[in-house]
Structure 1
Amino acid sequence: MLPAGVAGPLHATGQAAASAPAPAVPVAINPLYTMPPASVTAEDVASMQQQLLDWPQLGRYRDDNAQLPAPAPGEARVVFFGDSITDAWGRAEGTRFFPGKPYVNRGISGQTTAQMLLRFRQDVLALRPAAVVMLAGTNDLAGNTGLATLPMIEDNFRSMTELAQANHIRVILASVLPVSDYPWHPGLQPAGKVRALNAWLKSYAASSGATWLDYYSALTNAQGGMDARLAGDGVHPTPAGYAIMAPLAQQAIERALAK
């Protein structure tokens, strides 16, 4: 065994004869789903039961959707569709959600793209928007609803995009926000997966005719996360974070509607 820091003999290519195996990337699955049944508490069971009663959370906006009037003639309604990052926009203290614009917030905290796909017809198509802004994927990478590989996440984005476009709704695909750790599921090392998913989203937006919305570049730090000024917990934007995101979203909407 060589002392630490001493490289092995090099081949002609300049590579070490035997490189150390890459460290295993932690599997992102909600620990509650893999705990031994005997260790699951009554509170845990109640939480899972509540989730399974309405897994896509169709009940969250059902009444709001029923009360929302149809778009006025010439009105370009836009649905912001996503998870907690969308949900908190305009609802968290100090944030503003596009005052005076015909924009509708349909974010639900904690959701994955699989859940969003199931509620896409009710919370997007039925509202008859001109465009939809989709910001999602970080909860998939955190394992919120179980294992979600990058191909699985990509398939959900493809399905939602195709549903929207089949109904003449312009699609705006937003980058996943930077994150270097999830406070509710630490140790997953998500920064690389976020970059990989964003690379796919950007490419898919170009090939599918969707509009690309890049929040990532404006928010990221050297670690692939967000500074506390922009996201106090490293995941959810502060008012300062949303203030950076808002004009980027507006510019993307204007580009999409001009197509």
Structure 2
Amino acid sequence: MKFKLFFLLFLFAITNTFAQSSPDSLKGKMPVKENFADDWAMLCKYQKENETLGLPKKGEKRVVFLGSSIFEFWKQKDPDFFANRPYIDRGISGQISPQLLIRFRQDVINLKPKAIIILAGSNDIAGNTGHVTNEKILDCIKSMAELAKKHHIKVILCKYLPVYEYAWNKGIKDASAKIISLNEVIVAYAKKEHFTVVDYFTPLVDERNGQRADLTVDGVHPNLAGYKLMETVTEVAIKKAFKSRH
């Protein structure tokens, strides 16, 4: 009789333990992972950093660099270029021009910069979806430029870096020709609107209209030496933009 009673008490204890540790009972204890599926443009990436950054100090000529991996890796390769200047890097690897447009209010306008450098288009081309045209890329660039003008932000557009071939998507044919064609329409638009252009193509290009082997890590992204050349032409373009009346 004592054994049966002990056995019943043992079963009750085990059942009670499992009940307490059931998934339903743990719902309130386990942290809920936030779902960012609706954040296609990755606004979450710089949200907290923007809040910490705050508004420019009096007399500060803040410049925002808006783009994809070229800009994001730039700060990693040469952090001093940004640390010692009022330059704000807002690059996100892999982004296409519509994503930059969605981020424009949070990562540019709300930061109250004096100038914006927009580098867009290469990832659109590299996606190989069949829906991308220079016109669609330029439409996004135009929208960003118009927003900048409305908020009295100097606009600096970029001639994109040369690309002969995308290592991760070799199915893209004539990448170099597509980059050159994109640069032509960007420069034409900038000339029409009196925007400053920073030329990242010419200093890095080789005889195949790709990136010079000594200046790149993969034919698309610059190494430190490549970024140093970009820094030189960027500084010239920023000074030119601030002198411009437009």
For residue 126 of structure 1, the aligned residue among 110, 116, 129 is 110
Q: Which amino acid aligns with 2:192?
A: S
SS at match of 1:129: coil
For residue 193 of structure 2, the aligned residue among 193, 208, 214 is 208
Do residues 155 (structure 1) and 155 (structure 2) align? no
**Number of matched pairs:** 209
SS at match of 1:224: coil
More helix by share: 2
Once the two structures are TM-superposed, the CA of residue 184 in structure 1 deviates from its matched residue by 1.1
Alpha-carbon spacing, 1:121–1:173, altered in 2? closer, same or farther (3 Å) = same
- Counterpart Cα distance in 2 of 1:231 and 1:90: 16
The 4+ residue runs of structure 1 with deviation greater than 4 A are none
Once the two structures are TM-superposed, the CA of residue 232 in structure 1 deviates from its matched residue by 1.6
- Counterpart Cα distance in 1 of 2:239 and 2:194: 15
SS at match of 1:257: helix
Do residues 172 (structure 1) and 156 (structure 2) align? yes
- Counterpart Cα distance in 2 of 1:219 and 1:51: 37
User: 1:3 matched to which residue of 2?
Assistant: none
Is contact 1:110–1:144 with CA below 8 Å preserved after alignment? no
User: 1:242 matched to which residue of 2?
Assistant: 227
Alpha-carbon spacing, 1:64–1:247, altered in 2? closer, same or farther (3 Å) = same
User: 2:214 matched to which residue of 1?
Assistant: 229
User: 1:81 matched to which residue of 2?
Assistant: 66
For residue 257 of structure 1, the aligned residue among 222, 230, 242 is 242
User: 1:58 matched to which residue of 2?
Assistant: 43
- Counterpart Cα distance in 2 of 1:95 and 1:227: 23
Once the two structures are TM-superposed, the CA of residue 227 in structure 1 deviates from its matched residue by 2.2
Percent identity over paired residues? 44
Do residues 220 (structure 1) and 205 (structure 2) align? yes
Is contact 1:176–1:215 with CA below 8 Å preserved after alignment? yes
Is contact 2:164–2:208 with CA below 8 Å preserved after alignment? yes
Once the two structures are TM-superposed, the CA of residue 159 in structure 1 deviates from its matched residue by 0.3
Unmatched runs of 5 consecutive residues or more in structure 2 = 1-34
Deviations, residues 28-69 of structure 1 (Å, cap 9, x unaligned): xxxxxxxxxxxxxxxxxxxxxx88432101000000011112
Which deviates further from its counterpart, 106-115 or 142-151? Answer: 142-151
User: 2:76 matched to which residue of 1?
Assistant: 91
Is contact 2:215–2:222 with CA below 8 Å preserved after alignment? yes
Q: Which amino acid aligns with 1:226?
A: Q
Unmatched runs of 5 consecutive residues or more in structure 1 = 1-49
Q: Which amino acid aligns with 2:59?
A: G
Alpha-carbon spacing, 1:95–1:180, altered in 2? closer, same or farther (3 Å) = farther
Do residues 102 (structure 1) and 86 (structure 2) align? yes
Once the two structures are TM-superposed, the CA of residue 109 in structure 1 deviates from its matched residue by 0.3
- Counterpart Cα distance in 1 of 2:196 and 2:36: 33
For residue 56 of structure 2, the aligned residue among 65, 71, 79 is 71
Is contact 1:89–1:96 with CA below 8 Å preserved after alignment? no
